Amino acid sequence: MLARLGLPFDVASPQVDETPHPGEKPADLAMRLALAKAREVARRHPQAVVIGSDQVADLNGEPLGKPGTHERAVAQLQRMRGETVIFQTALAVVCQDIGFEQADLAAVRVVFRQLDDEEIEHYLRAEQPYDCAGSAKSEGLGIALLERIDNDDPTALVGLPLIRTCRMIRAAGVHVL
């Protein structure tokens, strides 16, 4: 996603525990993790403008994380069929050397179709989205699971809201255009 901006960048994996805190709301969890990821990498690269992000699927206030297994993915999609799920996509930009830190949240409202078990099984075997919040990848075959997507940033559901990213890195001194 970031390559679309034509800017040079490196990828660094943050060492952050992604376990939700007891009672933590999905939006709060996504924001906490995006900030923790950006801060952790910024400590190792203090001159860099660091982007951290995280996405949590919110089903009626309950966070749905990455399923990890086929069985958990089946259970998630069965629970989401015919439901509206809010994908909370948090973004944080940190540059330690200049004392810059901003964070924002893009809430993407997604309405799932009334899926039957055969459709769920076919999708999961084809896409294997076991590392994806809510078991659905809209950038691929997962788009067929959906009835509607409502948001203000078309890239937010894929995991990096580029409109917000551009605004925040410009504020940190990066010239996007």
Burial of 119: CB neighbours in 10 Å, binned 0-12, 13-18, 19+: middle
Name the catalytic one among 54, 58, 104, 153: 54
Spatial distance between the Cα atoms of 107 and 57, rounded to a whole number of angstroms: 10
Residues 6+ apart with CB under 8 A from 135: 64, 67, 72, 73, 76, 77, 80, 124, 129
Tell how strand 146-150 and strand 100-112 pair up: antiparallel
Spatial distance between the Cα atoms of 34 and 39, rounded to a whole number of angstroms: 9
Active-site residue, 153 included:
no
Spatial distance between the Cα atoms of 90 and 103, rounded to a whole number of angstroms: 7
The residues carrying an active-site annotation are 54
